[in-house]
Structure 1
Amino acid sequence: MERRDFLRAVGPAAGIGLAGCIGNGTAGGDYDVGMSAKAFRPTRIEVRPGTTVRWLNTSKQGHTVTAYGEQIPDEAEFFASGDFDSEQAARDAWGNATEGTLFEGQEYTHTFEVLGTYPYFCIPHERGGMVGTVVVTEDAATPTASE
């Protein structure tokens, strides 16, 4: 059973129970990665190939989701909020006009097809350690998260 299907099946009680575990719980757990003031929650998530991961800005700060382009698998598609085609393009666009920024309540999704490890970061909060990792593996029965 997919995590989202489970949450829908057990109702609002599950969202309340998970409220402190993922993001700030403001979306009732209907997302994979939340964003606090300066951290992704959870910082690491494991998914199977073909899974779409949903990031939701659960804070009042503006954030980005930007892959470390040189560190993702060679065959993988680059990903970044704002749909840029490279890490440098995302950095340049954010630096010039804060393009790609997700504001409170906004989301970004990306479907992961290639096995491997995908480190990513928030451009304005990278120096503060706002980084995360998506691990795409055949061994993930359902999406799992860890701090």
Structure 2
Amino acid sequence: MERRAFLRAAGAATVAGLAGCIGTSGTSAEYDIGMSARAFRPQTIEVAPGTEVVWRNTSKQGHSVTAYEDGLPDGADYWASGDFDDEAAARDAWGSSGGGTLFEGQRYSHTFEVRGQYPYFCIPHERGGMVGTVVVTDDPGTATE
């Protein structure tokens, strides 16, 4: 009898443990770029002009999504989580109050209109290499890691 109770408990635990794995296939529709502990996933994404890109913090770390201002295409607006006017303001706000922080599960989105490459980074993890690129092109391919 003890063996049957153990098998019932183990079977239930296995099903519960797999439940999170089964439901993950639809998450790509919820966001385009995830944020792990120290990386954007995917690191590079190609989209057509007029596309809204959604980032979601999929880790327990606080992150930012911050454009490199000097790397933006001519005519493109500056963008960053926290809706700052420029990179200096985003860095200052992060340093003084954690401004622009996306906590676990939070999202940020931006619509890209101008063709070109948009390099961006996470302020607290920039030195660790947490950088990414959005490429806006008339012929978007698939995202790359």
- Percent identity, please: 68
* Letter paired with 1:28: T
For 2:6, the equivalent position in structure 1 comes to: none
What is the CA distance between 1:74 and its match in structure 2?
1.7
What is the CA distance between 1:145 and its match in structure 2?
1.1
Q: 1:14 to 1:140 in 2, by over 3 A?
A: farther
1:93 alignment partner, SS class: helix
Deviations 1:16-55 (A, max 9, x none): 3xxxxxxxxxx72221000000000000000000000000
Q: What CA distance in whole angstroms lies between the structure 2 residues aligned with 1:96 and 1:32?
A: 29
**TM-score between both structures, scaled by the size of structure 2:** 0.81
Query: Going by fraction, where is helix more abundant, 1 or 2?
Result: 2
Structural mapping, 1:106-117, within 5 Å: 106-117=106-117
Alignment of 1:96 onto 2:84: no
**Runs of 4+ that moved beyond 2 A:** 13-16
Aligned pair count reads 124
**TM-score between both structures, scaled by the size of structure 1:** 0.80
* Cα RMSD for the two superposed structures: 1.7
Unpaired runs of 5+ residues, structure 2, are 1-21
Alignment of 1:35 onto 2:41: no
Structural mapping, 1:57-96, within 5 Å: 57-96=57-96
* Letter paired with 1:113: E
Unpaired runs of 5+ residues, structure 1, are 1-12, 17-26
Could you say which structure has the larger radius of gyration?
2
2:88 alignment partner, SS class: helix
* Letter paired with 1:102: L
